[in-house]
């Protein structure tokens, strides 16, 4: 149940979609589910027609800038109807945080600003890791003496060492997150639920289970 003044921010991918209302009604429904009754006031709705390439950048979103300006003037909370992929963009989330405006995401209702920033940082790190592994895999394997396209005892040790190094690196990236959740007194099951709720993925890109969390925590001991 929400309380206070809200400014909503909706987004569509084409001008035609915006004119037809396709996708907007679903976003408005998401907003209403978030507000869920209560003493709230909807000050204004802003609809952004995304331009495609580079549209994650704040400067490419005039409606978002206008929404932030009005929210600051009115002392209102900016309610983003559909954050989804934008939540994986560090530059975008940092821009929202630097605006000084309180903001929420209807499609990630449990997430606060810190959680969203953490989610964006982890997502960017995962993308960088995938890219780096793709570019360097063959060269690194050859340097270790691995015979590409073959399996056997001579390949097992370097492969295991590489897997351990990657697992340790991933666990270290989560040190601050897990330490913070421990400080809040969360149980391990509650930690799993929160990691999944805010969209932080495992090293393989999936959802967390209790055993996966315990394996990561064991590496941090």
Beta bridge partners of 79: 8, 104
Please tell me whether residues 23 and 50 are part of one structural domain. Answer: yes
Q: What is the pLDDT of residue 112?
A: 83
What span, in angstroms and rounded, lies between the C-alpha atoms of 79 and 111? 12
- In the predicted model, what is the mean pLDDT of the chain? 82
Does residue 200 belong to any structural domain of this protein? yes
Measured distance between the N- and C-terminal CA atoms of the chain, rounded to whole angstroms: 40
Q: What is the pTM of this model?
A: 0.58
Is residue 61's pLDDT more than 80? yes
Please tell me whether residues 203 and 125 are part of one structural domain. Answer: yes
Does residue 36 belong to any structural domain of this protein? yes
Does residue 112 belong to any structural domain of this protein? no
Model pLDDT for residues 191-220, shown as the tens digit of each residue: 998 888 888 888 888 889 999 899 888 888
Residues 6 or more apart from 141 whose CB is under 8 A from it? 148, 158
Does residue 186 belong to any structural domain of this protein? yes
Q: What is the pLDDT of residue 54?
A: 57
Please tell me whether residues 8 and 37 are part of one structural domain. Answer: yes
Please tell me whether residues 149 and 99 are part of one structural domain. Answer: no
CA distances (Å), origin 215, targets 131, 192, 200: 25, 12, 16
52, 72, 105 - which closes a domain: 105
What is the mean pLDDT of the segment spanning 3-10? 95
Rg, C-alpha atoms of the chain:
21
What's the total number of domains in the chain?
A: 2
Is residue 5's pLDDT more than 80? yes
Is residue 74's pLDDT more than 90? yes
Model pLDDT for residues 136-185, shown as the tens digit of each residue: 776 776 676 666 555 555 555 666 777 788 888 888 888 888 888 888 89
Domain span holding position 17: 4-105
Please tell me whether residues 127 and 197 are part of one structural domain. Answer: yes
Please tell me whether residues 33 and 70 are part of one structural domain. Answer: yes
Q: Which two tokens stand for residue 140?
A: 């690194």
Catalytic position from the list 13, 20, 30, 55: 13
Q: What is the pLDDT of residue 82?
A: 86
Q: Which two tokens stand for residue 119?
A: 């989610």
Q: Single out the residue of 20, 22, 40, 44 nearest to residue 32, CA to CA.
A: 40
Model pLDDT for residues 40-55, shown as the tens digit of each residue: 999 999 999 876 655 5
Is 13 assigned a catalytic role? Answer: yes
CATH of the domain at 59: 3.40.50.1390
Does residue 215 belong to any structural domain of this protein? yes
Does residue 110 belong to any structural domain of this protein? no
Model pLDDT for residues 79-109, shown as the tens digit of each residue: 999 887 777 778 888 888 889 999 999 988 8
């Amino acid at each position: 149940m929400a309380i206070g003044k809200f400014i909503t921010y909706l987004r569509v991918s084409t001008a035609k979609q915006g004119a037809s209302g396709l996708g907007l009604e679903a976003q408005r429904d998401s907003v209403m589910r978030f507000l869920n009754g209560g003493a709230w006031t909807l000050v204004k709705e802003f609809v952004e027609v995304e331009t495609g390439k580079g549209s994650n950048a704040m400067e490419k979103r005039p409606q978002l800038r206008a929404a932030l300006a009005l929210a600051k003037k009115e002392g209102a909370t900016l309610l983003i109807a559909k954050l989804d992929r934008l939540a994986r963009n560090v530059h975008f989330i940092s821009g929202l945080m630097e605006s000084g405006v309180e903001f929420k995401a209807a499609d990630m209702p449990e997430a606060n600003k810190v959680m969203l920033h953490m989610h964006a940082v982890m997502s960017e790190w995962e993308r960088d890791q995938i890219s780096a592994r793709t570019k360097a895999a063959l060269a690194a394997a050859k340097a270790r003496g691995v015979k590409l396209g073959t399996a056997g005892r001579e390949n097992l040790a370097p492969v295991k060492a590489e897997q351990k190094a990657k697992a340790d690196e991933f666990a270290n990236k989560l040190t601050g997150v897990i330490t913070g959740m421990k400080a809040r007194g969360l149980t391990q099951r509650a930690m799993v639920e929160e990691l999944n709720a805010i969209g932080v993925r495992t090293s393989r890109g999936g959802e967390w289970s209790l055993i996966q969390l315990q394996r990561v925590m064991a590496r941090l001991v």
